[in-house]
């Protein structure tokens, strides 16, 4: 069974992704912009009213891929697919619902 995130991508297109400037690595540099505070940065594409990270490829709810997955910042790491580790993640659920996708269930694993 394919990982449910590979047919989702909703979390990458729901909220601004702001993180500490100290998290910016060489691999992330092309994907970040300045944030409202000098100590923070934001993933490109998530800073506006219709957030969608520029590192997200594919279509929400069909097929998705993160170009910076191995180097993604902490807010991205913190979101876990619901039930992947035996419990639901409200952030995952909210992002999926925002895009009209059903919440993940334990049976999806």
Q: Which residues contact 32 (CB under 8 A, 6 or more apart)?
A: 24, 41, 42, 43, 44
Rounded mean pLDDT, 64-90: 95
The pTM assigned to this predicted structure is 0.89
Residue 36, pLDDT score: 87
Residue 33, pLDDT score: 92
Residue 88, pLDDT score: 95
Residue 50, pLDDT score: 93
Name the pLDDT band for 74 (thresholds 50, 70, 90).
very high
Rounded mean pLDDT, 81-98: 96
Residue 1 has pLDDT above 80, yes or no: no
Residue 23 has pLDDT above 80, yes or no: yes
Rounded mean pLDDT, 13-41: 94
Q: Which residues contact 100 (CB under 8 A, 6 or more apart)?
A: 61
Rounded mean pLDDT, 24-43: 93
Structure tokens at 14: 């729901």
């Amino acid at each position: 069974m394919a990982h449910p995130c590979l047919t989702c991508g909703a979390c990458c297109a729901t909220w601004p992704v702001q993180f500490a400037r100290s998290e910016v690595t060489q691999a992330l540099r092309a994907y970040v912009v300045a944030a409202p505070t000098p100590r923070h940065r934001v993933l490109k594409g998530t800073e506006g009213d219709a957030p969608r990270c520029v590192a997200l490829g594919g279509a929400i709810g069909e097929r998705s891929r993160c170009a910076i997955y191995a180097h993604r910042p902490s807010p991205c790491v913190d979101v876990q697919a619901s039930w992947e580790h035996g419990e639901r993640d409200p952030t995952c659920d909210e992002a999926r619902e925002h895009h009209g996708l059903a919440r993940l269930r334990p049976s999806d694993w």
